[in-house]
Structure 1
Amino acid sequence: MSEQKETAEQPQCYLVTIEVDYEQPEFIKGFGCQADAEAFRSELEAYQRAKPDWPDTAAPQNEWVRVEEAREAWMNAHPGGRSAIGAERFGIITVPFVPAVESPQ
């Protein structure tokens, strides 16, 4: 019981991850505040939903070119970087924050 209390009192770091089935999560960004991590994850999820859809197969050729350009722009501007474009979901992993130890001079 005291171990749980000690862990709860330690500072935490919140790591936002890219998740794809059958692969280890990939860390995107770390935060010192859970609310900031959740806000970033929500931004990533909203950005994923805004990915331009491919046109219907009967669409004219110029529509395909327009969508390809829009999708390329979407990938280049992704807030999680290009590695996040194939994410199935985004997660948050909470880990203890351990400050760096300065070496004596």
Structure 2
Amino acid sequence: MHFVTVCIILLLSVFFCFVTGDDLTNCMKACHIEYEPVCATITNNEGKSFECSFINECFLEEFMCVKDIKDLEKKPDACSEDPPECIDIVKDALVGTDDNEFVPIVTP
């Protein structure tokens, strides 16, 4: 399951590089594709929290930049489980849609 999620995130990230407009230029990074997973807690606009795995810290930072999130609760390694919502959360951010707004869980 984690491998499939990582592959989808990677493909969407490549797609993101070709699709985004100039307004997100500051968010685009040359992220390495080494699998060093990071688990981040993301809360949607309905207040529901999800733990989602990102391929590495760079991809998480790119997601945070696109969504203008300053801080997230995160931990090293892949999350114990990636719910289906994670694919949509990451996909929406990487292709630049605003259908879903996400707010961070700020760490103290």
TM-score by length of 2: 0.28
| Structure number, greater radius of gyration | 1
TM-score by length of 1: 0.28
Relative contact order, higher structure (CA 8 A, sep 6+): 1
